[in-house]
Amino acid sequence: MDLFRDISTYDPIALAALRRGATLAISVSGGKDSQAMLYRLVEMRKALDWTGPSHAVHADLGRAEWPQTLAHVEAMCRSRHVPLSVVRRDRGDLVARIEERLNTVSTLDGTRTAKPFWPSAAQRYCTSDLKRGPIQKWLRTLGKDVVIVSAQGMRSEESSRRAKMEPLSVNKALTSKHLRGVTSSNSRGYTPSEALSAWQSEGGRLVLDWLALFDWSEEQVWAALVPGGIRELRARQKLYRDGDEAAALHGWLAHPAYVWGNRRLSCALCVLACRGDLVNGIRHNPQLAARYVLLERASGYSFKQGQSLEALAAEEMIRLPILEPA
Ligand code: SF4
């Protein structure tokens, strides 16, 4: 593999910060993008002699996750000798958070709740409360006088919203106030380059959010991840569909849900998932699906707008272990 093949896509300011000893914090979800990013950044760290510490961090959403995810994340970090911190919401996992939300918007009197309670594109409390919040809390523990490059695996081709993101930006929530550079005449504040210069003379905590794979295609991600790239993935998916799951997963280095056919890896049942990924999620996680179906019934709101999990399971002839509340 040519380590420097993609070097032109890496942000020069992020690389300069890392060359000068910045702490590298790599967010890993267990999906292909963050795994490829971890592998690539570890190679670059060695080759480019980055002297600062590096850590991986994983936000564990508990029962909402694929059961395989945590072990997969631990194994990938162990294989690259990167210390891993697993962070969680203090007051319960995503299932608990969704149930809590239902109780705050509903009288649960058997009719429709007052308003939707499931997470959605407009109400991403799942991400803010279960991922962003715990990871930010952990990033604060890395120090008060430090530059942190917080690497995340989002790619521009994933969605039009992601395509509009800045590949490198100053994290205003975590950066010391004097390094944000926000004034009445400059509401956007310092650029990453300006903030880095300010840090050199003034110190403080500077956190740069870096979308390290921003320009990568899906093919590039798979090529960085498994020896046969995307063709290997397709071949293994076919083996699985043909009924040979053991052969399909033998020696597979990414999350097994991809071999089972998932396009993206997220929570086992994600409110933003496409139909195929939802069907896969239900098929492989029937207990979780059953729990969510009970919430659909209690609230009158489907898991996604216009898409109930109960109806989807019925259409796909997947039997769910529904336990009626006593
Ligand atoms: S994967 Fe989906 S449901 Fe889970 S936190 Fe992200 S957006 Fe929310």
| 98 close to ligand 1 (CB < 6 Angstrom) | no
Q: Whose CA is nearest to atom 4 of ligand 1?
A: 267
Domain residues of the chain, as ranges? 7-111+124-218, 228-315
Which residue has a Cα nearest atom 3 of ligand 1? 270
Taking the centre of ligand 1 as the mean of its atom positions, its distance from the CA of residue 121, in whole angstroms, is: 9
Confidence label for 293 from pLDDT (cuts 50, 70 and 90): very high
pLDDT value of residue 103: 85
Cα 213 to ligand 1 centroid, rounded to whole Å: 20
Indicate the top mutation candidate among 159, 272, 285, 307 to test ligand 1's pocket, ranked by most ligand atoms within 8 A of CB: 272
Q: What residue owns the CA closest to ligand 1's atom 6? A: 127
Task: Locate the ligand 1 atom nearest the alpha carbon of residue 273 and give its number.
Answer: 2
Q: What is the pLDDT of residue 322?
A: 83
Range 150-167 burial, b when 16+ CB lie within 10 A, else e:
bbbbbbbeeeeeeeebeb
Q: What is the mean pLDDT of residues 79-88?
A: 98
Q: What is the four-CA torsion angle of 23, 27, 30, 36, rounded to 10 degrees?
A: -60
Fold of the domain built from segment(s) 7-111+124-218:
Rossmann fold (3.40.50)
Q: What are the tokens at 49?
A: 């002699």
- Note whether 52 and 19 are within 8 A (CB): no
The pair of structure tokens assigned to 56 is 């991986």
- pLDDT at residue 193 above 80? yes
